[in-house]
Amino acid sequence: MPLTVQDIAETFPSLSLLTGEDSRARALSFGSQAPNEAIGIARPKTTEELAALIKHCNVHDQPIVTGGGMTNMVAATVAQPNELIVSTELMNQIEEISPEDRTVTVQAGVPLQTVHDAAADHGLAMEADLGARGTATIGGMISTNAGGNRVVRYGMMREQVLGLEVVLADGTVMTSLNRVLKNNAGYDLKHMFIGSEGTLGIVTRAVLRLREEPPHITTLFLAVPSYDAVCKLLRHFDSGSGGTLSTFEVMWEDFYKLMTTPPAESAPALDQGYPFYILIELSGKDSERTEGLALELIETATEQGLIVDGLIAKNEAERQKIWNIRDDIPQLLQLWPMKAFDISVPLSHMERYIEKMQADLDKELPDNRTVIFGHLGDSNLHVIVGAGTDDKAALHRIEEIVYGPLPGVHGTVSAEHGIGTEKKEFLKLSRTPTEIAMMKQLKGMLDPNNILNRGRVLSA
Amino acid sequence: MPLTVQDIAETFPSLSLLTGEDSRARALSFGSQAPNEAIGIARPKTTEELAALIKHCNVHDQPIVTGGGMTNMVAATVAQPNELIVSTELMNQIEEISPEDRTVTVQAGVPLQTVHDAAADHGLAMEADLGARGTATIGGMISTNAGGNRVVRYGMMREQVLGLEVVLADGTVMTSLNRVLKNNAGYDLKHMFIGSEGTLGIVTRAVLRLREEPPHITTLFLAVPSYDAVCKLLRHFDSGSGGTLSTFEVMWEDFYKLMTTPPAESAPALDQGYPFYILIELSGKDSERTEGLALELIETATEQGLIVDGLIAKNEAERQKIWNIRDDIPQLLQLWPMKAFDISVPLSHMERYIEKMQADLDKELPDNRTVIFGHLGDSNLHVIVGAGTDDKAALHRIEEIVYGPLPGVHGTVSAEHGIGTEKKEFLKLSRTPTEIAMMKQLKGMLDPNNILNRGRVLSA
């Protein structure tokens, strides 16, 4: 029988527990309007305190939602009325940083920006980065295998994790705080937990890989005449930049127009009306070398007709201006009511996929306003469909149109945001029945009472 | 009851099956003198044929050893008398290569070198590489999460795998041939199988990530006065090379002396007698830029006293000469009877760890001759201890001396070779009882009859 907050408070008198209005007032997911109906928010300060709480909940069949920065985009942390939120926000210490080993050991509730800052103090970087860096926590980023803007060079959050501590559903603490790049001593169990969205265990601590911070970043913004040119430029810059390419972001024409037309916060950096705009960053040794290389690559690409206009950011302020065009979320909300997607499609299929998707949307929802941008270096597209209606059936039809063709083009319904509760219906489009059966088998093995993030990712 | 080869031949009349002397004559593991006592070698040509065979074996409790190139170093593929070897050697086709998507889809039995060659035809590279490239198969490299010479820049085999097809112990085929860099649709199950040494399933196909082949490689060979200088040079070259550092290999003095003294195949490239020798490669855009950068980094390092002698390979022949010093395996065998280790130790502990290990060896085995080299950019050491005796107790004592202190310095008993049968006794030094229990739980879930690589990695 599920617990009450009174039960929990009595069993764990020193546990920090938010109840009533203190709990209800907390936002539960990025952009979520849903009220927080959880019975309360427990905030353990240590792994041991968290483990004891989970063990107690498991015995009493009390479902738990784990919360980090609450910035996920798939309603994973929107609590049901009988659920207890377990927040890692008070487990927020950087425990150790070793410049010699280039590792940092952190508690799960540390925000990403805090890790960036601590690493920078030693000339190092933790090379996972995303817009919500001020609020997203390391624990949340690990449990969701977060992506972001530098994946083309450094991989996803998974690739930054060397070691992990996880609390299992029965309260067992599995401490595996490996610190070395290579460890083939038996199964590498951390990968089961990375990206499983908190359904198999709760991340409490981690050892992250640090790398040398590139001394200089050159930022380019290019207008490009065709999709074919976009693909050629990816290979041109990737092969020609000698290992320095760290970002390759693409904006489709309609996205760029929306983001540079009032009331957008940005004016156009290049003229509107080109088919594609590419934001490229090369992270290298110094400005002379890196910019010299960039100019050379631009010149050869322009000769081949791959670039029709472009600029190089001359300083950090100009760099921020370009990124602001991409990151102006309030302007994107102009399209509300909308559906936002986070799909991957192999480059060889992407152009035809988008043409068909747009045609189907136009046929069935003539008032749709669709804009596309994405981490093209990773085959990852963000598709935002302004529906022109808040009719539920119409919004669901948009999902079917966007997701439906993905199996035929080796695409996926989620590149980086995960499944949460919002995409559960569509998981079967990206995973086979055998895979889903094995996911359920794993879930059953590690959480037989189904107390951890129940109903997220998988149906019961 | 286990099967006979007659049973198998009758049930699967079209299966390629080696028996008798054809089977016995096959070597079973790198450097192994053990006779092949398997009942035979089955060589399926397709996933379906392999799956049907495994299903049949599972029903009849017939233990299976999966063989790829048979180049593992931990006696994993040395068969017991009642075991059937299932070799993927006839599943050796590259099924598809897409330069646009930068992926290659291969069958498990394809040798590494074949993938390198196919990728190079398109100006691309599959960036896992190791000495046994002519024989090691992709399936074997995935099941063991192979390491090699470029991990510091590109990661291990795991990081090259986008999609996987696996045959489970009950003959179920799990096809998950993902082709995109980012796919967060549910649990990423492939990671359970990568590095589990064939104990959880048999890899039959894979999609691998290809990258742009760096147009130019600059190879440096440097003599270095101290361990402190080695560590400083790693950061100096990693931060100063703007993303181009692809190899950072270190040879200790005694190793270098052994490998450049007759009957070694190499003469000294630099004088003997320096404490450390470093082999560095920068893979960049062109020779002018990459060598220019290298010279600049050498100059600043020399000014700081970090380098006492050095050379740059002027052409591929000179590059090969340097690598040959490192790769002269027959010369290493001069130390026979010996024990070879493949450990990782964080850089901050490495020097003191080695001093203590050497002192303990000298105290207990005065005739030992110990040489050390390794992928220092990955904290991975290869320690070769010439025992001066083939006494079993003495050889075991060497293992205890090398492995014993590892838990105290956050080291691991296997960086890249895996556990196989040879290191099972020492797995507990690198993994906690909770981790080992979970490994067994996973094994029990996926292979309840324990037919796949029985007794490898884990004890029953």
- pLDDT range class, residue B31, cuts 50, 70, 90: low
B262 has pLDDT over 70: yes
User: Which CATH number is associated with domain B336-414+421-441?
Assistant: 3.30.70.2740
Cα(B341)–Cα(B429) distance, integer angstroms: 14
Contact B239 A123 (CB under 8 A): yes
Measure Cα distances from B247 to A224, A433, B120, B237 in Å: 36, 42, 19, 10
Residue B25 binned pLDDT confidence (cut-offs 50, 70, 90): confident
The predicted pLDDT at position A78 comes to: 87
Task: Write the residue in A159, A285, A414 that is nearest to B240 by C-beta.
Answer: A285
Residues 340-379 of chain B whose Cβ lies under 8 A from any Cβ of chain A: 344-348, 375, 378-379
Is A336-441 a CATH 3.30.70.2740 domain? yes
Q: What are the pLDDT digits (tens) for B88-108?
A: 999 999 999 999 999 999 999
Contact A447, A193 (CB under 8 A): no
Partner residues linked to B278 by β-bridges? B222, B250
The predicted pLDDT at position B54 comes to: 98
Interchain contact B447–A (C-beta under 8 A): no
CATH 3.40.50.800 fits B5-90, yes or no: no
B 21-40 residues inside an 8 A Cβ radius of A: none
The tens digit of pLDDT for each residue in A384-441 reads 999 999 999 999 999 999 999 999 999 999 999 999 999 999 999 999 999 999 999 9
* Residue of chain A whose alpha carbon sits nearest to that of B198: A187
Q: For chain B, give the number of residues.
A: 460
- CATH 3.30.465.10 domain range(s) in chain B: 94-212
Instruction: Please list, residue by residue across B232-241, b when 16 or more beta carbons sit within 10 angstroms of its beta carbon and e when fewer do.
Output: bbbbbbbbbb
Q: Are A171 and A239 in contact (CB under 8 A)?
A: no
Q: Is A430 on the interface with B (CB under 8 A)?
A: yes
Q: Is the pLDDT at A146 greater than 90, yes or no?
A: yes
B393-408 pLDDT, tens digit per residue, is 999 999 999 999 999 9
How far is it between the farthest Cα atoms of chain B?
Answer: 74
Q: What residues in A contact B172, CB-CB < 8 Å?
A: 434
Q: Residue B32: its pLDDT value, please?
A: 66
Q: Does A122 touch chain B (CB under 8 A)?
A: no
Contact B180 A344 (CB under 8 A): yes
Cross-chain residue pair A414–B155, CB shorter than 8 Å: no
pLDDT surpasses 80 at B13: yes
- Per-residue model confidence as pLDDT tens digits over A61-91: 999 999 888 888 888 888 889 999 999 999 9
Smallest CA–CA separation between B176 and chain A, in Å? 7
Q: How far apart are CA B74 and CA B62, in angstroms?
A: 23
Q: How far is it, in rounded angstroms, from Cα A169 to Cα A202? A: 8
Task: Flag the least confident range among A70-74, A260-264, B211-215, B224-228.
Answer: A70-74
Which residue is closest to A287 within chain B, CA to CA?
A: B242
Question: What's the CATH number for A216-329?
Answer: 3.30.70.2190
Q: What is the pLDDT of residue A31?
A: 65
**Which chain A positions have a beta carbon within 8 Å of B435's beta carbon?**
174, 176, 186, 189
User: Alpha-carbon distance B222 to B232, whole Å?
Assistant: 13
Q: Specify the pLDDT at position B209.
A: 98
B377 or A188: which carries more pLDDT confidence? A188
Determine the pLDDT at residue B27: 75
Encoding tokens for residue B46? 């397709």
CB contact under 8 A, A414 and B185: yes
CB A345 within 8 A of CB A379: yes
Q: How far apart are CA B99 and CA B455, in angstroms?
A: 41
Asked if B58 contacts B32 with a C-beta cutoff of 8 angstroms, the reply is: no
Is B232 part of the contact surface with chain A (CB cutoff 8 Å)?
no
A430/B98 Cβ within 8 A: no
Please report the pLDDT score of residue A34 as a whole number.
Answer: 74
Token readout for A236 is 């041109």
The separation between the first and the last C-alpha atoms of chain B, rounded to the nearest angstrom, is: 18
Q: What is the DSSP string of A327-385?
A: H-HHHHGGG-SEEEEEEE--HHHHHHHHHHHHHHHHHH-TT-EEEEEEEGGGTEEEEEE
- Which of B183, B187, B379 lies at the smallest CB-CB distance from A442? B187
Which residues of chain A lie closer than 8 angstroms to B155, CB-CB?
A: 155, 159
ipTM above 0.90 for this complex: yes
State the span(s) of chain A assigned CATH 3.30.70.2190: 216-329
Judge: A182–B416 Cβ closer than 8 Å, yes or no.
Answer: yes
CA angle B335, B156, A377 (to 5 degrees): 155
CB contact under 8 A, A184 and B432: no
Residue B296's identity, in one-letter code, is E
What's the whole-number mean pLDDT along residues B312-332? 95
Interface probe for B, chosen from A167, A176, A184 (most Cβ of B below 10 Å), is A184
What pLDDT does residue B69 have?
85
As annotated, the residues of chain A forming the CATH 3.30.70.2740 domain(s) are 336-441
CA-wise closest residue to A199 among A419, A41, A52: A419
C-alpha distances in Å from residue B46, one per residue of A293, B3, B51: 47, 22, 9
CA dihedral sign of residues A169, A135, A221, A382 = positive
Q: How far apart are CA B343 and CA B354, in angstroms?
A: 11
Q: What is the pLDDT of residue B75?
A: 85
Strand, coil or helix: A282:
strand
A239 and B213 in contact by Cβ < 8 A? yes
Predicted model pTM = 0.97
Segment A110-117 mean pLDDT: 98
CB B424 within 8 A of CB B33: no
CB B120 within 8 A of CB B133: no
CB atoms within 10 A of CB A196: 29
Give the lowest-confidence range in A264-278, B72-86, B356-370: B72-86
Average pLDDT over residues A356-373: 97
Q: Is the CB of residue B171 less than 8 Å away from at least one CB of chain A? A: no
Which positions 298-337 of A are in contact with B (Cβ < 8 Å)? none
Residue A32 pLDDT > 70, yes or no?
no
pLDDT, averaged across chain B? 95
Say what percent of chain A tops pLDDT 90. Answer: 89
Query: Was domain A94-212 assigned CATH 3.40.50.11890?
Result: no
Q: Note the residue count of chain A.
A: 460
Which pLDDT score is estimated for B74?
Answer: 87
CB contact under 8 A, B181 and A213: no
Where along chain B do the CATH 3.30.70.2190 domains lie? 216-330
What was the pLDDT predicted at A35? 78
CATH architecture of the domain covering B216-330? 2-Layer Sandwich (3.30)
Q: Count CB-CB contacts under 10 A for residue B369.
A: 16
Instruction: Give Cα separations from B174 to A196, B49, B203, B346, B418 (angstroms).
Output: 19, 14, 10, 37, 24
For chain B, residues classed under CATH 3.30.43.10 are 5-90
